[in-house]
Structure 1
Amino acid sequence: MEDSWRDDAPGSGEPDDGPRPRRLLRRLAITVLVLAVPVGGLVWLFQDDLFHPFGDPRACEGSDAPLSGAFGAGGAPLPGDASDVHYYTQNGHTELSFVSSRIPGFLHTAGFVPDDASPFDESYGDDHFALGEDDTELPRGLCGTGVRGPVLTYGSAAASIMVERSPFTTDRFRAPARVIVTYNTP
């Protein structure tokens, strides 16, 4: 009964105002800590999926500039059916990868092959790139899937391109074909 003279003692006749502010703050801090640990773990676990450069899921880690609408290969846009698009930009240099079934039209639009020429004409495309059937190639820094051999390569003063060729015939591309375009940004 020594404490019965204190105002906050039970039975003192005054209404109980609930927990003290210190207890409330302590409980709040513990609750925040308990919730922060699993949330932080989930963010760490899925950080590659949550944080892309420029908020663009197509950008590969380490890219220092976003992809423009028309890229360096003759200012051509990506084909309308382009999928699995990935790019890596570093110091004005861009590596771009995509899959499309509209490769002949893209090669004409981008200026790698004249409109009246076949993309399989040896004077425009080179099939001597050292990449055997089903071997893959992915430039350093570029994420995603590499091109599978055999490939045809095309080049201009502003850009170069590798396109997957059919392993069964020399006058067709894979359907659809993966493309890797390399160019310097102006």
Structure 2
Amino acid sequence: MSAGAGRRRVPVRLGIGVVVLAAVGGAGTWLFRDDLFHPFGDARACAGSDLRLPHAIEAGGAPLPADASDIHYLTRNGSVEVTFLSHRMSDYLHRAGVLPEGEDLFDQKHGTKYGDGEDEIALPDGLCGASLRGPAWEYGSTAANGTRVDVVDERSTLYHDAFRRPARAVVTFTS
């Protein structure tokens, strides 16, 4: 009888060991999920990115606004697309040299309508994150360092001379 009892304990111990290993493996996967499922271990990087961007992303020689949140990027063949939310879009456009100081935000000399109405506007192929909401405005410029910078910003639906608060932007440039 004692020989049968010893045989039953081996499978129970083995079962407990398997459960413990599975729990530790699951906890480790959960703990390091950003490193496992995002390129370069950077939660901001979208699948397919071929270059890791530094923590402080600069587009056209100007860092993203200090309050930028929900940041995602896609790097492909030297081209960079970044999407983020910010309350400081006009300041960013001036610092990046996309919009000259003193100019109206929505002057057709510096940009054009990009989507009408309040519909969602899809992000560029491969760029992850939340979609833009219309209406939007697109700016294009060449920065002082020679980099082409294109910016699409969400406009306010209430005030025709302002951005949403916060506004989502998509910035495209070359690295």
Q: Give the drift of 1:48.
A: 5.5
**What are the equivalent positions in structure 2 for 1:63-74 lying under 5 Å apart?**
63-68=49-54, 69-71=56-58, 73-74=59-60
Q: 1:50 to 1:126 in 2, by over 3 A?
A: same
Residue pairs, 1:123-142, within 5 angstroms: 123-127=109-113, 129-142=114-127
For structure 2, the residue ranges without an aligned partner over 5 or more in a row are 1-9, 143-147
Q: 1:11 matched to which residue of 2? A: none
1:109-148 correspondence runs (5 A): 109-127=95-113, 129-148=114-133
| Structure 2 residue corresponding to 1:85, chosen from 71, 95, 104 | 71
Q: Normalising by structure 2, what TM-score? A: 0.77
5 Å-filtered alignment, 1:89-104, equals 89-104=75-90
Residue-by-residue CA offset, 1:86-140 (whole Å, 9 max, x unaligned):
111112111101100111110000111111212222211211x234313222111
CA, structure 1 residues 132+40, in 2 after alignment: closer, same or farther (shift >3 Å)? farther
TM-score, scaled relative to structure 1 = 0.73
Between the aligned partners of 1:32 and 1:136, the Cα distance in structure 2 is 51
Say whether residues 1:163 and 2:153 are aligned partners: yes
Backbone CA RMSD of aligned residues:
2.9
Would you say the 8 A contact 2:60–2:173 is kept in 1?
A: no
How much identity, in percent, do the aligned residues show? 45
Partners in 2 of 1:97 and 1:118 — Cα distance? 23
CA distance in 2, matches of 1:184, 1:28: 58
> CA separation of 1:92/1:29 partners in 2, compared to 1, >3 Å: closer, same or farther?
farther
**CA distance in 2: counterparts of 1:28 and 1:62, whole angstroms:** 44
Decide whether the 8 Å contact of 1:107 with 1:119 is kept in 2.
no
Give the length in aligned residue pairs: 161
- Which amino acid in structure 2 is aligned with residue 149 of structure 1? G
- Aligned pair in 2 of structure 1 residues 42, 31: CA closer, same or farther (>3 Å)? same
Structure 1 unpaired stretches of 5+: 1-23
CA distance in 2, matches of 1:38, 1:70: 37
- Residue of structure 2 aligned with 1:76, choices 62, 65, 78: 62
Which residue does the alignment assign to 1:106?
92
